[in-house]
Amino acid sequence: MSFKIYKPQILRDLFTFMKLYMDSDVKLLAGGTDFMLMLENNKIQPDLVIDLTAVQEMKGITVIGDELCIGALTTMTELAESALVRTYAPLLAEAAVSMGNLQVRNLATVGGNLANASRSADVVPALIALDAVAIINKDDGSRQELVEEVLRGSRKTSLAKDEVITFFKLKLAKVGTGMAYEKLGRRKSGAISLMTSNIVIEQTEGKITKARLVFGVMTPSARRARPAEDFLLGKTLTEKIATKAAEIARSYIVEYIQMVRPADLDRKELGYAYKLPVLEGVAKRCIISAYEKGGV
């Protein structure tokens, strides 16, 4: 079924339009890689589609002060190739390049990745590990929210109907910060993520001053494994400590699922029996790798 299309050039027009059509079934189109699948499978039947691709204000990667600002329409390829991202948030560049295949990365956007809130979203866990903040705008205001808090479960976000994610902010990595990423998939390209490991570790004189451990796909929305992060604080990393932190991370994931969706642990298609021990092994090597990278 066909629909009306609106293609705004500036944010102001976008918001005006969204307000005007508050009562219609409006769908925003960014990269379109998920949108098109839903459209073809009749999972969405919008009255109006707003194509965001011409909105320049939602594009670009810049450094402002001690923050990296990333437009919501930035594609995965742009993230992966950006010298700024590679320097100040290499984790995000690695996560971006691991997504889908090149043709998909050339279309898919970072904002779309969050707004879709898919369990297997590729860059969202990296954004969480980087303490990224989403800037969310609407006609008469804007708000900021940690990416972790925007997510409210699989395919659920805090976004209201008239709100749009316009860009992301994250602090530039300090000296002594190391990051490590690993994706578990059935092949090297174009694979659906079975799990992703997103690790950020800051250290001063060998002692861990900040740790972020986020494991994608393992929970309906990605969450920081805080107990494992807390465990690492103040410690000088050894293999034993990395092993222990990985164990804690695994226990945390299990406890979290038991809390939110206990039946999931036994659902064969979610593969926890296989993934949990793997998470432990992958977490361990990523923690070591991040620590080593930050130590130089």
- Report the interface residues with other proteins, using CB under 8 A: 1-5, 7, 29, 32-33, 35-37, 39-40, 49, 51, 53, 77, 100-104, 106-107, 184, 186-192, 194, 271, 274, 277-278, 281-282, 285
- E strands of the chain, at which residues? 4-6, 26-29, 48-51, 61-64, 67-71, 133-138, 141-146, 164-171, 177-184, 195-204, 207-216
Compute the Cα dihedral for 161, 125, 166, 34 and give only its sign.
negative
**In terms of CB distance, is 177 or 289 closer to other proteins?**
289
**28 contact partners, CB below 8 Å, separation of at least 6:** 49, 50, 52, 115, 164
CB 274, min distance to other proteins, A: 4
User: Residue 66 burial by CB count (10 A; 0-12/13-18/19+): exposed, middle or buried?
Assistant: exposed
**In terms of CB distance, is 105 or 212 closer to other proteins?**
105
CB 194, min distance to other proteins, A: 8
Residue 159 carries which side chain, given as an amino acid letter? L
For residue 27, what is the DSSP state? E
Between the CA of residue 110 and those of 37, 185, 255, 279, what are the distances in Å? 18, 20, 29, 25
**In terms of CB distance, is 78 or 229 closer to other proteins?**
78
**In terms of CB distance, is 100 or 178 closer to other proteins?**
100
CB 48, min distance to other proteins, A: 10
CB 33, min distance to other proteins, A: 5
CB 229, min distance to other proteins, A: 21
CB 133, min distance to other proteins, A: 28
**In terms of CB distance, is 145 or 247 closer to other proteins?**
247
Q: Up-side HSE of residue 162: CA atoms within 13 Å toward CB? A: 16
**In terms of CB distance, is 226 or 285 closer to other proteins?**
285
With tokens 């530039």, the residue in question is 172
CB 135, min distance to other proteins, A: 24
Q: Where are the alpha helices (DSSP H) in 214-265?
A: 226-232, 239-260
d(CA 52, CA 56): 9
Classify strands 164-171 and 133-138 as parallel, antiparallel or unpaired: antiparallel
**In terms of CB distance, is 25 or 149 closer to other proteins?**
25
